[in-house]
């Protein structure tokens, strides 16, 4: 079940980023190769009343070379396309402006719920001034103050109440959802079309959760159902903002949320770029299955070492994805494309795999016998037992005398032993240390 998306729109200086920062519990972090984590300014996770959601500050999507008014109109369009609920932010200081009215007119055309918020209502006396905002025709205005943190609870109540119902969003259980993500021009749409050409049993084009996303379903010979999720660049609509990096990262994140398995597409000609790492890192953090596809393999002059050299580069740049298989493909010559669905299926099985506690503990005992647990300040780590508590991604709880003593390197060692014994290729994996009481 993907998280609902909330977008904040409004003209510059009304306080969008201030409100965004207030609502953002945790920035959606994007794994960086060495330094660990970089932050994306426009996208974050929030939580209210136990519901988590993703939040976008559309003000952060800069569309260069566009005049002021068309910038904010485009931002409003992005919100309409991408969000489940839109917060339209205005400011009590300037009152209702022409720009506000223009944004409102765009928002009327959408059937997405719009919540009107009036910012900078820093004290109760100013509340009387918000009634002017009824003239925008978007219902009751919510007074808030980003700098003082006022009114946000009522605003969030209303946002959450407007989320799509669970049934509306429910997606069938027995379908494997996958998507192609990557920078513009790596060949995502060519891959989609080529695969559709190969797979003869296309079930239908079905509308996804976002009204204008078009997913495609197909079934393999064994009756396994696949859903190919529409991603940025696949059904190009020719809008200016589609080529901006922020927008394409945002679309990618949205597609990743809805996927079980993510195909991270790289361009063999151009090698690995910074943006490739961002989206791959997000898929990893989100616990999704991952396959690395090196597309345009036909364009390289190859000798016996080419594949090996490419693999070494990928392993070095994407160290956290050591579990992800790499496939070298071409959307043009169709090389290896027919093997993709089988690989996806294999990884889907791996991410749903459950290992019995007794088998797991055999592996654990054996691992500890070969590589004794570390000591820290005279205290030795003791591992009592381990049990799998979840799938997708496989999650294991290991009971120990003191979780602090389970250092990263020993955790890595245990993970590798488990991976050596059971097939978890293509799926990230969580190991949680708990103190045994
Ligand atoms: P954005 O351009 O819409 O993202 O607006 P910012 O969040 O950057 O805020 C613009 C200015 O308004 C900054 O100087 C903020 O400090 C100020 N501001 C934001 N929220 C409030 C508020 O609730 N009250 C007051 N008085 N100022 C605010
Ligand atoms: P997207 O933006 O990621 O969807 O990329 P496209 O599918 O639009 O492809 C961008 C360009 O790369 C197009 O000109 C494609 O014809 C070309 N292309 C895509 N896949 C391949 C491939 O495997 N080999 C070669 N030689 N060109 C490709």
Judged by its nearest atom, the ligand closest to the C-alpha of residue 336 is 2
Residue 297 marked in a binding site: yes
In this predicted structure, the answer to whether residue 206 has a pLDDT above a threshold of 60 is no
Ligand-binding annotation for 281, yes or no, is no
17 marked as part of a ligand binding site:
yes
Atom of ligand 1 nearest to the CA of 12: 2
Residue nearest to atom 14 of ligand 1 (CA): 13
Euclidean distance between the first and final Cα of the chain, in Å? 34
**pLDDT tens by residue, 11-66:** 888 999 889 988 886 555 444 333 333 344 567 788 898 888 988 888 766 656 66
Is 45 labeled as ligand-binding? Answer: no
Q: Which atom of ligand 2 is nearest to the CA of 193?
A: 7
Which distant-in-sequence residues (6+ apart) come within 8 Å of 320 by Cβ?
Answer: 31, 281, 284
Interval between CA 66 and ligand 2 midpoint (Å): 28
User: ipTM higher than 0.85?
Assistant: no
Q: What are the chain's domains?
A: 3-163 (3.40.50.300), 167-350 (3.40.50.300), 355-433 (3.30.300.20)
What mean pLDDT comes out for the span 388-392? Answer: 93
Ligand 2 near 331 CB (within 6 A): yes
Centre of ligand 2 from the C-alpha of residue 186, in Å: 6
The residue-averaged pLDDT of 190-216 equals 62
List the residue whose alpha carbon is closest to atom 16 of ligand 2.
190
CA–centroid distance, 15 to ligand 1, in Å, is 4
Ligand 1 binding residues, C-beta < 6 A: 10, 12-18, 59, 119-120, 122, 145-147
Which residue owns the Cα nearest ligand 1 atom 16? 147
Split at pLDDT 50, 70, 90, the class of 172 is low
Q: Is the pLDDT of residue 349 over 90?
A: yes
Q: How far apart are CA 321 and CA 292, in angstroms?
A: 9
Confidence band of 154 (pLDDT split at 50, 70, 90): very high
The pLDDT assigned to 243 comes to 60
For the cut 70, the answer to whether the pLDDT of residue 238 exceeds it is no
Residues in the chain, total: 437
- Is a pLDDT exceeding 80 seen at residue 150? yes
How close is the Cα of 17 to the center of ligand 1, in Å? 7
Residue 194: is its pLDDT beyond 50?
yes
> What is the C-alpha to C-alpha distance for residues 283 and 178, in angstroms, rounded to an integer?
12
Cα of 194 to ligand 2 centre, how many Å?
A: 11
User: If you compute the radius of gyration of the chain from its CA atoms, what whole number of angstroms results?
Assistant: 24
Q: Answer yes or no: is the C-beta of 119 below 6 A from any ligand 2 atom.
A: no
* HEC letters along the chain: CCCCEEEEECCCCCCHHHHHHHHCCEEEEEEECCCEEEEEEEEEEEEECCEEEEEEEHHHCCCCCCCHHHHHHHHHHHHHHHCCEEEEEEECCCCCCHHHHHHHHHHHCCCCCEEEEEECCCCHHHHHHHHHHHHHCCCCCEECECCCCECHHHHHHHHHHCCCCHHHHCCCCCEEEEEEECCCCCCHHHHHHHHHHHCCCEEEEEECCCCCCEEEEEECCCCCEEEEECCCCCCCCCCHHHHCHHHHHHHHHHHHHHCCEEEEEEECCCECCHHHHHHHHHHHHCCCEEEEEEECHHHCCCCCCHHHHHHHHHHHHCHHHCCCCEEECCCCCCCCHHHHHHHHHHHHHHHCCCCCHHHHHHHHHHHHHHCCCCEECCEECCEEEEEEEECCCCEEEEEECCHHHCCHHHHHHHHHHHHHHCCCCCCCCEEEEEECC
Among 42, 103, 121, 146, the mutation site with the greatest number of ligand 1 atoms within 8 A of its Cβ is 146
Residue 361 annotated as part of some ligand binding site:
no
Contact 54, 253 (CB under 8 A): yes
How far is residue 256's CA from residue 330's CA, in Å, rounded to a whole number? 22
91 is in an annotated binding site: no
pLDDT averaged over the chain? Answer: 85
Q: Is the pLDDT of residue 335 over 50?
A: yes
Nearest ligand to the C-alpha atom of residue 268: 2
Residue 24 φ then ψ, to 5°: -80, 110
Quote the tokens at residue 149.
Answer: 């943190």
Is-contact 245 200, C-beta < 8 A? no
CA of 92, nearest ligand number: 1
As a whole number of angstroms, the distance between CA 250 and CA 217 comes to 23
Indicate yes or no: pTM above 0.90: no
């Amino acid at each position: 079940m993907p998280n609902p998306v909330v977008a904040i729109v409004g003209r510059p200086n009304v306080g969008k980023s201030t409100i965004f920062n207030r609502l953002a519990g945790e920035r959606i972090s994007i794994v960086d190769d060495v330094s660990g984590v970089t932050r994306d300014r426009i996208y974050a996770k929030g939580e209210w009343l136990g519901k988590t959601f993703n939040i976008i500050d559309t003000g952060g999507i800069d569309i260069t070379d566009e005049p002021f008014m068309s910038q904010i109109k485009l931002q409003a369009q992005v919100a309409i396309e991408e969000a489940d609920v839109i917060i339209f932010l205005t400011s009590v200081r300037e009152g209702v402006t022409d720009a506000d009215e223009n944004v409102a007119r765009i928002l009327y055309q959408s059937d997405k719920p719009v919540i009107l918020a009036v910012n900078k209502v820093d004290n109760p006396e100013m509340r009387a001034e918000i009634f002017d905002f009824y003239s925008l025709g978007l219902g009751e205005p919510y007074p808030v103050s980003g700098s003082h943190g006022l009114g946000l609870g009522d605003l969030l109540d209303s946002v959450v109440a407007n989320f799509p119902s669970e049934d509306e969003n429910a997606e069938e259980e027995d379908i494997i959802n996958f998507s192609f993500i990557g920078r513009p021009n790596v060949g995502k749409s060519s891959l989609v079309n080529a695969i559709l050409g190969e797979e003869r049993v296309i079930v239908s084009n079905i509308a996804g959760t976002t009204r204008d996303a078009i997913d495609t379903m197909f079934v393999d010979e064994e009756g396994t159902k696949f859903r190919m999720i529409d991603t940025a660049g696949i059904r190009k609509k020719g809008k200016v903002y589609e080529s901006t990096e922020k927008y394409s990262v945002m679309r990618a994140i949205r597609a990743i949320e809805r996927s079980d398995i993510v195909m991270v597409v790289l361009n063999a000609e151009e090698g690995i770029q910074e943006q490739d790492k961002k989206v791959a890192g997000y898929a990893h953090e989100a616990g999704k299955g991952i396959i690395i596809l090196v597309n345009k393999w036909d364009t390289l002059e190859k000798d016996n070492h080419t594949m090996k050299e490419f693999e070494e580069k990928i392993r070095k740049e994407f160290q956290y994805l050591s579990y992800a298989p790499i496939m070298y493909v071409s959307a043009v010559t169709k090389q290896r494309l027919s093997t993709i669905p089988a690989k996806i299926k294999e990884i889907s099985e791996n991410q749903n795999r459950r290992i019995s506690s007794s088998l797991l503990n055999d592996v654990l005992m054996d691992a500890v016998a070969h590589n004794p647990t570390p000591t820290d300040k005279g205290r030795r780590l003791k591992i009592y037992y381990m049990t799998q508590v979840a799938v997708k991604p496989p999650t294991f709880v290991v009971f120990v005398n003191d979780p602090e003593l389970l250092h990263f390197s020993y955790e890595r060692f245990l993970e590798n032993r488990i991976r050596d014994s059971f097939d978890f290729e293509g799926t990230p994996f969580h190991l949680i240390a708990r103190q045994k009481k």
